[in-house]
Structure 1
Amino acid sequence: MTVALPCPYQGKFGKPIPGSLPTIVGSFKSAATKRINIIRNAPKTPVWQHNYYERIIRDKSSVPKVRHYIQMNPIAWDVDQSHPHNCCKE
């Protein structure tokens, strides 16, 4: 006999789920933003891009691709459409 378990995310859209990756990242970014803005004396100034890309690495074969993305991402920032000082912005 198979028993279907309820989805743990059902009815919780937009609400933090303790211990989840988005909640951990959000907490880190909030604490870091407060500290950064205290140091630079710039209250309520944005520090982060409004979104981030999370990915679950499911097998060893995808690790090199993810490492490459992490290494190359900062290099591509100068021409990124989200960069506030991108000279090539459309």
Structure 2
Amino acid sequence: MNQRLIRLPQVKAMVGLGRSSIYDKIKRGEFPKQIKLGRSSGWVEAEVQEWISEQIRASRLGQVNASLNSRAPLQPQSFTLGSLGAKAG
């Protein structure tokens, strides 16, 4: 199995997030953790690619759910003449 390590500039370019956002997501367990390489760090490229795929799946599921919700039948609304701004009498 051939695994490639990538550095932060490549990770940022792949995911479209800045350094702080990436490290914040790592702290929250929402992004693959980096591997220490002496004084520097690297990420397993396959793990970053999988994270991107998960984001795409989640986004598409959200769009499906949103479109299903937007197709809910309209509920009839009741109103009175007063609510329409009509003057009585």
TM-score, normalised to structure 2's length?
0.28
Greater fraction strand:
2
Greater fraction helix:
2
Q: Which has the higher contact order (CA 8 A, sep 6+)?
A: 2
* Bigger radius of gyration: 2
TM-score, normalised to structure 1's length?
0.28
